Structure 1
Amino acid sequence: MNNIKRVGVIGGGQLAWMMAGAAKTLGIELAIQTPHPTDPAVAIAASTIFAPVDDAAATAELATRCDAIAFENEFINLEALMPLQEQGVRFRPKLEVLAPLLDKYDQRCYLRDLGLPVPEFVALEEKNEGEEHLISNFPFPVVVKARRHGYDGQGTFIIKDPETLAATLQRLRQTPVLLEEFIPFERELAVIAARSHTGEVAVYPVVETQQEEQVCRRVLVPADIDPAVTAQIEAIAHTLLNSLQAVGIFGIELFLTATGKVLVNEIAPRTHNSGHFSLDACYTSQFEQHLRAVCDLPLGNPALKCDAAIMVNLLGYEHSHNDYLSKRQQLADLPNSHVHWYGKSESRPGRKLGHVTVLLDGADKSKAQTLAQAIESIWYSRD
């Protein structure tokens, strides 16, 4: 018998907002902890605490309003939350599951020690440590990443020469970073996977993600890859979630090289942009799946209910206050399209304002790409 009927979510953005439909279907109330009254999830929450997401005192109050607490993002102070868990607050996933994942260097080490394929990497502990030695191990270009709080490409720098590396490290001298080899990938892939408290694992179709300026622009579903690659990625998902004893949904980003080699790029211990297609294209959306896992319910079917789909992020391209109603209507008029608008009051370049998913007959990649271009020509037109 499920005794989790009220779920707290730390974070009030679109990922929490998109849980609303599933919560209603499952008879679950959502309580939100977020600092901003204008955040999308505030509109759908049964209860809201306005406080920073890393405010442990606010989370203690949140715990009095719900039966379990989930996370919308990784901006988490584990040390401050641990006493709450020790007092019986139910976090999903547990804080011990998050511990090796929140710092990108710790995450790399965890994946490597599990035997999962990752790029070569090293932590830059001290600014003055032997940079020449590091550079000799990693031919340019190299990648510098902030170890905490990077998302949508923020905190990630592709460095092409020693001078730029030195300047970047100088600029980030107060920020813990890691250095890793640049992977000349053929494609970027992603997979969403969930695990329940009983150990049941559900894996969504592997997708291809297309980034521009390190922000996801498009997701092609399913990825046009060899079945052996799909099987390898599904095995990676099972290994990771079972090793962590995770409960909840995880986004796994990967590189595929021209030689067919798969490498894990990053893990997000939450619902993920690469899984938004599941709202319209799958029998069970990633948001319902996450709530099912959090609430100790059986996992749902992650399979596609259509042949294929394309998801396009609607990114801000200007500074304005605009609901873009005319453009949204044009997108909604496309056959088999589903427009999701996050209700954000302010647009700025690169900000995720919404997404559109189009369900396709047949898995024709060129058709999907043509459709994505049509969507973007509507969205990014300046008239």
Structure 2
Amino acid sequence: MSAPLLLPLAPGSTIGILGGGQLGRMLALAAARLGFDVVVLERKADSPAGRTAVQLIVAEYDDEAALAELAGLTGLVTYEFENVPAASVAWLAARGVEVAPGSRALAVAQDRFEEKTFLNAHGAPTVAFAVANTPEEAMDAVARIGAPALMKTRREGYDGKGQRWVEHAHAAAGAFEALGGVPVIVEAAASFVRELSLIAARGRDGSTAIYPLGENHHEQGILRRTLAPAQAAPAVAGQAERIATRVLAGLDYVGVIGIELFEMADGRLLVNEIAPRVHNSGHWTQDGCEVDQFEQHIRAVAGWPLGPTRAIAQVEMLNLLGDEADAWAKYAAEPETRLHLYGKRGSRPGRKMGHINRVKPL
């Protein structure tokens, strides 16, 4: 059993991170700037976050011996991705470890049906949706929702994985089987004007900090670039802030969250999905805001005051995929470009190897 956590967490304390990818790496670097040590629990011995931590525990996320070792080193744990096993979070919490964001946020984000149900219940509108557990139910869902419709696995899936478009109801059974025959959610098509996202944070005292909107452009299901602050009417920005406030309060959230939005032709915003963690579309804040999303997350979970979110520059964030990161010397020579590489070993098509922020005065 861990000792009671004393908040705000003092510099020199240790924070645990579940997950060793690039988001964990950037969280660890932000924590180090604030004087914290970081311990990472990750399945791979060589990982981006593992190489920036003071200690690395190599094990599966549900390995109880590894979780016990982590609990012995810190009373505060966060995570870099939402597919951490909920049972692992419960195991840590049962032994007195504070995990933030909490289990409620994790449970909602891990199931797309639960997510959309929660959003609608808290005044955050979404597209129409239905669930299906069999091929027959999938056909019925598409018939009710209307084709074309987007079929997604209820759990897991990211960067366009675990989903496919269904053009006709009679094709739904085949799509269901192609997705593995697991429970799915069927979503109505959204005729949106553009995709936006909002990065927001909530502290342990209930205070909130909301960043300016970003405009996102995807290719083959992968975020390609974000332009921020996005040009948005005050009414649109106000809608986004109200949605964020409701979501954060409804989850009793602590930390940074990413909220993906569809802007419709009539100015309404629909929530596509939420991510209970720092978010790819928030990378622009590293060079465009007074306090970036990674430091903000560490501040929030550690019980520190939240930092200002004012934009200090106009930023175009571009993900570097596959061998695009090999052009690092070119990007480093561009005076307006800030280069962020993740230290991954070996590239492959579509793999996020880093990002650049091209900065212009506001």
Same fold (TM over 0.5): yes
Rounded to whole Å, the distance in 2 between the matches of 1:181 and 1:310 is: 30
On the 8 A contact 1:328/1:339 being kept in 2, the answer is: yes
Question: Which of 303, 308, 316 is equivalent to 1:310?
Answer: 316
| Counterpart amino acid of residue 40 in structure 2 | I
Q: Which residue of 1 aligns with 2:241?
A: 234
Question: Which of 39, 43, 58 is equivalent to 1:50?
Answer: 58
Q: Which residue of 1 aligns with 2:331?
A: 331
Rounded to whole Å, the distance in 1 between the matches of 2:60 and 2:179 is: 24
Rounded to whole Å, the distance in 1 between the matches of 2:168 and 2:53 is: 48
Q: Which residue of 2 aligns with 1:341?
A: 341
Q: Which residue of 1 aligns with 2:36?
A: 28
Question: Which of 20, 25, 43 is equivalent to 1:12?
Answer: 20
Equivalent residue of 2:108, what SS? coil
| Counterpart amino acid of residue 154 in structure 2 | R
Deviation for aligned residue 1:80: 4.2
1:293 aligns with 2:300: yes
Deviation for aligned residue 1:86: 2.2
Alignment of 1:101-250 (within 5 A): 101-129=109-137, 131-250=138-257
Rounded to whole Å, the distance in 2 between the matches of 1:144 and 1:261 is: 23
* Bigger mean CA offset, 225-234 vs 15-24: 15-24
1:351 aligns with 2:357: no
On the 8 A contact 2:135/2:173 being kept in 1, the answer is: no
Q: Which residue of 2 aligns with 1:87?
A: 95
Rounded to whole Å, the distance in 2 between the matches of 1:83 and 1:49 is: 17
Q: 1:14 to 1:182 in 2, by over 3 A?
A: same
On the 8 A contact 1:153/1:215 being kept in 2, the answer is: yes
Rounded to whole Å, the distance in 2 between the matches of 1:204 and 1:264 is: 17
1:3 aligns with 2:9: yes
On the 8 A contact 2:322/2:349 being kept in 1, the answer is: yes
Rounded to whole Å, the distance in 2 between the matches of 1:272 and 1:55 is: 26
On the 8 A contact 1:255/1:263 being kept in 2, the answer is: yes
Equivalent residue of 2:142, what SS? helix
* Bigger mean CA offset, 16-25 vs 237-246: 16-25
Equivalent residue of 1:40, what SS? coil
On the 8 A contact 1:53/1:75 being kept in 2, the answer is: no
Rounded to whole Å, the distance in 1 between the matches of 2:37 and 2:202 is: 21
On the 8 A contact 1:254/1:262 being kept in 2, the answer is: yes
CA RMSD in angstroms comes to: 1.7
Which runs of at least 4 in structure 1 moved beyond 6 Å after TM superposition? none
Q: Which residue of 1 aligns with 2:4?
A: none
On the 8 A contact 1:341/1:354 being kept in 2, the answer is: yes
- State TM-score, norm by structure 2: 0.93
Alignment of 1:351-370 (within 5 A): 351-362=351-362
On the 8 A contact 1:56/1:81 being kept in 2, the answer is: no
Rounded to whole Å, the distance in 2 between the matches of 1:214 and 1:97 is: 24
| Counterpart amino acid of residue 290 in structure 2 | Y
Q: Which residue of 2 aligns with 1:373?
A: none
Deviation for aligned residue 1:166: 2.4
| Counterpart amino acid of residue 333 in structure 1 | A
Deviation for aligned residue 1:268: 0.3
Deviation for aligned residue 1:81: 3.2
Rounded to whole Å, the distance in 1 between the matches of 2:297 and 2:86 is: 21
On the 8 A contact 2:139/2:170 being kept in 1, the answer is: no
Deviation for aligned residue 1:56: 4.2
Equivalent residue of 2:49, what SS? helix
On the 8 A contact 2:319/2:352 being kept in 1, the answer is: yes
On the 8 A contact 2:322/2:348 being kept in 1, the answer is: yes
Rounded to whole Å, the distance in 2 between the matches of 1:87 and 1:66 is: 11
Rounded to whole Å, the distance in 2 between the matches of 1:132 and 1:87 is: 45
Deviation for aligned residue 1:102: 1.4
Equivalent residue of 1:98, what SS? helix
| Counterpart amino acid of residue 263 in structure 2 | L
Equivalent residue of 1:249, what SS? strand
Identity %: 38
On the 8 A contact 2:142/2:172 being kept in 1, the answer is: no
Equivalent residue of 1:100, what SS? helix
* Residue-pair matches, total: 354
Deviations 1:64-98 (A, max 9, x none): 11130001111222134324312211101121332
Rounded to whole Å, the distance in 2 between the matches of 1:335 and 1:161 is: 50
Deviations 1:132-153 (A, max 9, x none): 5323322221001111111111
Deviation for aligned residue 1:350: 0.9
Equivalent residue of 2:98, what SS? coil
